[in-house]
Amino acid sequence: MACQDPAVTGVRAAAYTVPTDRPSADGTLTWDSTTIVIVRVAGGGHEGIGWTYGPAAIAAIVRDKLEPVVNGRPVLDVSAALEAMVRAVRNAGRPGAVGYAISAVETALWDLKARLLGLPLYRLLGAMREEVPLYGSGGLTSYGDDELRRQLSGWVHEEGFPRVKIKIGESRGTRERRDLERVALAREVIGDRAALFVDANGAYTAKQAVRVGRGLDDAGVRWLEEPVSSQDLTGLRQVREGVAMDVTAGEYGCTVSYFEEMCAAQAVDCPQIDITRCGGVLEFLRICAVAAAHELDNSGHCAPYLHRHAAAAAPRLRHLEWFHDHVRIEQRFFDGADPPEQGVLPLDGQRPGHGVELREADAEPYRVA
Ligand SMILES: [Mg+2]
């Protein structure tokens, strides 16, 4: 195919802070707002969009550190642009906000490339599937019992989700009995219609997680996420060996080598990969390959409308996290953020790129940078 070879002609970044719908907490953090940083790259008469979640300062990192190395590069050569961004941040340090900024730009470049070629991104990458299985994710420790009931019941009994996740490890793991009571309540609400997952956000010690884990196993919980800090690979492995359910982690990972180390340590049963943090589409797929080399499946973490195309192209994908907080923002800000059907997110084979358009008028009131 004869193809134009346009260059990137502009990179823009803006941050928007959206209040949560109610006070929010998990095992180790409380928050009352969530900030999305949206990047737009221009080239060849089109514009691509990508995003991440994190501090508004990410927009400044994009402008100061990444825009100068991406501008003027061939739109089609996303891998070279990624490499250039990674090299440019050597002294700034890639993990954390800088890696999140790289991810937002990289995902915007893929959107632009796919739009130039007139293809949905998952077709450009090579589709493995036409829809992405989801799990409903919420059940915050700050919810009252009625709120927990309403949310889980809505997902399972009204929307047909086959798996849902709640937060445990309340107050940094000091309320074990309450954790198990909430798990029992969740089970009572969903019955045997759906699998039950829990996320402790690193709140427990390893031995504590094994003790609580026995109760979770008895309640039929299938997925124990971050029972201890993700930094503690030895602790994760200890928990993994001490419980029947799958132990998972990985949401903060910013590099392929982070996941290689996690897999090699036999710390998890299913690494969780976040495309808005790990470096974007290419790194997401490379990490899937690393996990596959260790005979492990993978799962996508949050930001469902940015993950869906890479997830549809990913080998050994189990599911993608349908995180209440991000779903709210993405459905409010983007046209094309269509609702799931029976717990799966269908891919639109018609719309190019990520298949979403920013509704500027809806986003602008939340703009902070
Ligand atoms: Mg988590």
Q: How far is the CA of 45 from the centre of ligand 1 (A)?
A: 39
Between helix 176-190 and helix 145-153 the angle, nearest 10°, is 40
Alpha carbon of 172 to ligand 1 centroid (Å) = 14
Cα-to-centroid distance, 7 and ligand 1 (Å):
38
CA of 118 to the centre of ligand 1 (A): 35
Give the pLDDT of residue 2.
46
pLDDT bin (cut points 50, 70, 90) of residue 4 is confident
Q: What mean pLDDT is predicted for residues 216-235?
A: 97
Same fold, 8-119+359-366 and 123-358: no
Residue 65 has pLDDT above 70, yes or no: yes
| Mean pLDDT computed over 235-258 | 98
- Separation of CA 201 and ligand 1 centre (Å): 6
User: What is the whole-number distance in angstroms between the Cα of residue 80 and the centre of ligand 1?
Assistant: 31
| pLDDT computed for residue 1 by the predictor | 44
**Could you tell me the pLDDT band of residue 67, with boundaries at 50, 70 and 90?**
very high
Render pLDDT for 256-306 as a digit per residue (tens, 0 to 9).
999 999 999 999 999 999 999 999 999 999 999 999 999 999 999 999 999
User: Where are the domains positioned within the chain?
Assistant: 8-119+359-366, 123-358
CATH number for region 8-119+359-366 = 3.30.390.10
Q: In angstroms, what is the span from residue 68 Cα to ligand 1's centroid?
A: 33
Give 358 Cα–ligand 1 centroid separation in angstroms.
27
What pLDDT does residue 37 have?
99
pLDDT score of 256: 98
Count Cβ atoms within 10 A of the Cβ of residue 98 and give its class: 0-12 exposed, 13-18 middle, 19 or more buried. Answer: buried
CA of 200 to the centre of ligand 1 (A): 7
Residue where the block lists tokens 């340590």 = 265
Place of tokens 């007139």: 118
pLDDT at 356 over 80: yes
Interval 226-243 mean pLDDT: 97
Q: How far is the CA of 199 from the centre of ligand 1 (A)?
A: 6
What value does the mean pLDDT take over residues 127-142?
Answer: 98
Q: How far is the CA of 309 from the centre of ligand 1 (A)?
A: 21
In this prediction, residues 60-75 reach a mean pLDDT of: 98
Q: How far is the CA of 168 from the centre of ligand 1 (A)?
A: 10
How many Å lie between the centroid of ligand 1 and the Cα of residue 91?
29
**Distance from residue 276's CA to the centre of ligand 1 (Å):** 14
The answer to whether residues 88 and 67 touch, using CB atoms and an 8 Å cutoff, is no
Question: What's the pLDDT tens digit per position in 82-109?
Answer: 999 999 999 999 999 999 999 999 999 9
Task: Tokens for 116, please give them.
Answer: 């130039």
- Once rounded to an integer, what is the mean pLDDT over residues 212-231? 97
Residue 49 has pLDDT above 50, yes or no: yes
Q: pLDDT at position 3, please?
A: 57
Q: How far, in Å, is the centroid of ligand 1 from the Cα of 25?
A: 12
| CATH fold for the domain made of 123-358 | TIM Barrel (3.20.20)
The answer, yes or no, to whether residue 314 has pLDDT greater than 70, is: yes
Q: How far, in Å, from the CA of 9 to the mean position of ligand 1?
A: 37
Who contacts 37 (Cβ-Cβ below 8 Å, separation ≥6)?
A: 13, 14, 15, 16, 51, 52, 53, 54, 56, 58, 59, 62, 100, 101, 104
Name every residue whose Cβ is closer than 8 Å to that of residue 125 and which is 6 or more positions away in sequence: 281, 285, 309, 310, 313
CA of 27 to the centre of ligand 1 (A): 10
Using the mean position of ligand 1's atoms as its centre, give its distance from the Cα of residue 226 in Å. 7
The reported pLDDT for the residue numbered 239 is 98
The whole-number average pLDDT for the span 244-259 is 98
> How far does residue 93's CA lie from ligand 1's centre (Å)?
23
Average pLDDT, the chain: 97
The rounded Å distance from CA 367 to ligand 1 centre is 26
pLDDT tens profile 102-119: 999 999 999 999 999 999
Residue 125 to residue 145: CA distance in whole angstroms:
43
Dist CA 161 CA 218 (whole Å): 22
Whole-model pTM?
0.97
Q: Is pLDDT of 221 > 70? A: yes
